Amino acid sequence: MLDRHLHPRLKPWLNRAAGFIDRRGISPDGVTLVGFALGVLALPFLALGWYGAALMAIVVNRLCDGLDGALARRRGLSDAGGFLDIALDFLFYALVPFGFVLADPLNNAIAGAWLLFAFIGTGSSFLAFAALAAKHNIDNPGYAHKSFYYLGGLTEGSETIALFVLCCLFPAYFAWLAWIFGALCWLTTFNRVWGGYVTLREYEKRQINS
C-alpha cells in the first residue's frame, strides 16, 4: 500500500548511494548476497533475545535490498538478478517470524505460524500473477521500477518492514502484532487473487476480440 508512495521519496537517496557503490565496481548481485547474509543474522539474534542486534540486521538487509535495485537500474536490469533478489527476499521475510518463535515458543509459536501461513498467501498470489503477467507482457505503471509485475495490496514491503521494526522494539507484543498483520495479509491475498483473476480474464477477452 505504501511502497508506491515511499519509493519516489527514497529513490534519490538510493541513487546517490548506488552511484558511490558503482564507482567501486561492486555488482548488484553482490549487494543482494551480502545483504541477505547480514539479514540471516537476525535469526540467531532473535532466538537469543538480542532484539536490538536483530533490528540492526533487519535494517541493513532492507537497505541493501534498496541499493541492489538502484544499482541494477544503473547497470541494466537482469532477470537473473531479479530472481535472486525476490527469492532471497522471501526467505528473509520468513526467517524473522521464525526467529521470534524460537525466542519464545510458548507464547509466539501459534501466532508465528499464522503469520508464516499468511506470508504464503501473499507470496504465492504475488509470484503466480507476476509469472503470468510476464508471459503476456502486462505492464504495471504503478511499480515501473520493478523488474517484474508487482501486484500491490494492503501489506507490501514497507508495511512488513514496519511490522518487523515494531516487533523488535516491542517483542512482548509479537503475538498480537502477528495476528493482526496476518489478517491484513489475508485481505491482501484475497484482493490479489480476485484482482489478478479479473485482470487476466479481461486480457484474454481483449485478445479474443482483437
Distance between CA atoms of residues 193 and 73, nearest Å: 29
pLDDT of residue 8: 61
- Residue 35: per-residue pLDDT: 95
**Confidence at residue 7, expressed as pLDDT on a 0 to 100 scale:** 63
Task: Give the whole-angstrom CA distance, residue 23 versus residue 95.
Answer: 33
Domain CATH code at residue 160: 1.20.120.1760
Locate all alpha helices (DSSP H) within 41-104, ordered by sequence. 42-47, 51-75, 79-103
Per residue in 91-112, pLDDT (tens digit) is 999 999 999 999 999 999 999 9
Nearest to 45 by CA among 93, 103, 94: 103
Residue 200 confidence (pLDDT): 84
Domain containing residue 194: 3-209
Total structural domains within the chain: 1
The whole model's pTM is what? 0.83
Candidates 88, 92, 110; CA nearest to 101 is 110
- Give every residue of the chain whose pLDDT is below 70, as ranges: 1-20, 22-23, 138-153, 210
H or E segment at 166? Answer: helix 157-169
Q: Give Rg (Cα) of the chain.
A: 18
